[in-house]
Chain A
Amino acid sequence: MQMVLKQIERLGEYVLWHINELGGLALFLICAIRGIFRRPFRFAAFLNEIRFIGVNSFVVIFFTAAFTGMVLGVQGYYTLSQFGSEGLLGSAVALSLIRELGPVLTALMVTGRAGSAMCAELGIMRITQQVDALECMAIDPYRFLITPKFLATIVAVPLLTLIFDVVGIFGGYFSGVILLGVNPGAFFSGMEQSVANQDINLGIIKSFYFGLIIVWICAGKGFLLYRARVGFGSGSVSRVTTRAVVLSSITVLIWDYLITALLL
């Protein structure tokens, strides 16, 4: 009996802790959005974050996109050629990139590259009392630290996604048309006929949400390090960063399914 009670108690504590964690993240989101409207706006810091999250992610995004597009070209070619419809390769590559792979892979790459860095930076600022120091100077840490990252991520991720799409399509062109000999006219005209504005909009809306998810979870987890039960010191930063990257990636994939099901 005692054992059972103990287990129930533990379960209750576990659930309460997660609800508490979720509440913390919800409050974080509210404060972060409020921080956007607080003045003075730190434009230089915002540009700096755009450079870090956006410009510096370009190489990673470029290579991921190029090779994803090339693989799609090869795979698509072999599948489609069985039905003698290689001409559809252009639209197959473009649609899968614009609707799904572009937004999702961009989000995952940004999570790994910038989300982890964001989480670790804020976590270290928290454990070294830099956040406390800001509060003591009556400087709103949300406006000062979070707002630039927040805006930069939701601006940069959709733009990176568009770059991903374009580079990926040319990757598919390279493997499909140049290496495997699909007709280039068919490749592009098929794309023009099958890709509608709605598809591009869907991709952009998705990537906007993904940007929000990345910055919310990664920045939130790091900033609220003291709430997470991850121990103390540098170990806590590494653990919370791992958690943030995993949670953010999974949330992106789940949200991708939900939003696709809702909007299609």
Chain B
Amino acid sequence: MIEPIIQFVDVHKSFEGANGTVQKVLRGVNFSIKPGMTTVVGGASGQGKSVTIKLILGLMKPDSGQILVEGKDVTVMSTSELNEIRSSFGVVFQGVAPFDSMTVFENVALPLREKTKLPKQEIRKRVMESIEQFGLKGHEDKFPAQLSGGMLKRVGLARALQLEPKIMLFDEPTTGLDPARSLEIYRLFYKIQKERGYTALIVSHDIPKIFNLADQIVVMHEGMAKIFSSSEEIQWSNDPVIQDFVQMTMGHIYQSKSENE
């Protein structure tokens, strides 16, 4: 039995709404992620997908429950302990969160400059290598505002991978990208995972496309997590909620096909 690297144990989280209403986003979420595996967290918008990432990173505290990373509960950690855990993460945010007053080169170099004592030339060499690997050559002196959405995602990915993280967290990697660019991002992600063997957690509503990447799919619905091991299992599920979800995310494609005929 391999120990899970990330584990959610009965996690509850609610948010205060506009006029004092309380919105329960997570109502007892349980799932675990084994090392080296790719887990996709899916579900409609507002079901708390991105919240799971913030909880893992300790940017947010749950109302109750435990979140274990390598067996240690991040919900009770001090800032210095959190920093230690965070060093093993690579994160790409929904909007990538590039440092917008820094160039592409400086963005990618930042983790190396701040967290390692490598000499300047070595940092330059490594950063240029990964800029080339991510197809950003010739753009290294541009600022984030001058890049397209797909390029920005690649900058985020390059930056997150600089310190060779054990765990990659990827929030909505393909939001706002056209299908060709989304596919390109997934391929890149998959290729690098094969090389480096990190554990991946991808939050996405782009489920059908991402199915092939996943070893495990967690579907969030009404505050609960339903776990599936493959796309087939989801498609054949008897659960009406999941059937709805499958229809919503995939039905659309079939519909447009029949419309064409």
Contacts and interface: CB of A to CB of B under 8 A. Distances in A.
A138 B84 contact: yes
B87 A129 contact: no
A15 interface: no
Interface residues of B, number: 21
B124 interface: no
A136 B114 contact: no
Contacts of B97: 128-130, 132-133
B95 interface: yes
Nearest to B87: A138
Given A136-B59, A138-B115, A139-B115, A128 B86 contact: no
Contact of A130 (B86, B91, B100): B100
A144 interface: yes
Interface of B (DSSP majority class): loop
The CB with the most chain A CB atoms within 10 A, among B57, B87, B91, is that of B91
B110 interface: yes
A129 B115 contact: no
Interface string A107-132: 00000000000000100100011101
Interface string B134-166: 000000000000000000000000000001000
A192 interface: no
Given A137-B111, A139-B114, A144-B114, A132 B93 contact: yes
Interface residues of A, number: 15
B15 interface: no
A69 to B, nearest CB: 36
Contacts of A132: 59, 93, 97
A13 B59 CA distance: 26
Contacts of B230: none
Interface in B90-114: 91, 93-95, 97-101, 110-111, 114
Interface in A135-150: 135-140, 144
Interface in B55-87: 57, 59, 83-84, 86-87
A144 B98 CA distance: 15
A129 B95 contact: yes
A136 B115 contact: no
Nearest to B83: A138
Contacts of B110: 137, 139
A229 B59 CA distance: 20
A35 B98 CA distance: 23
A136 B91 CA distance: 7
B170 interface: no
B89 interface: yes
Contact of A136 (B89, B95, B100): B89
A230 B87 CA distance: 33
Contacts of A128: 95, 97, 100
25 contacts: A121-B101, A124-B100, A128-B95, A128-B97, A130-B99, A132-B59, A132-B97, A133-B91, A133-B93, A133-B97, A133-B99, A135-B86, A136-B86, A136-B89, A137-B86, A137-B91, A137-B110, A137-B111, A137-B115, A138-B86, A138-B87, A138-B115, A139-B114, A139-B115, A144-B114
Given A132-B97, A133-B99, 10 more contacts: A129-B94, A129-B95, A130-B98, A130-B99, A132-B59, A136-B57, A136-B86, A136-B89, A137-B110, A139-B111
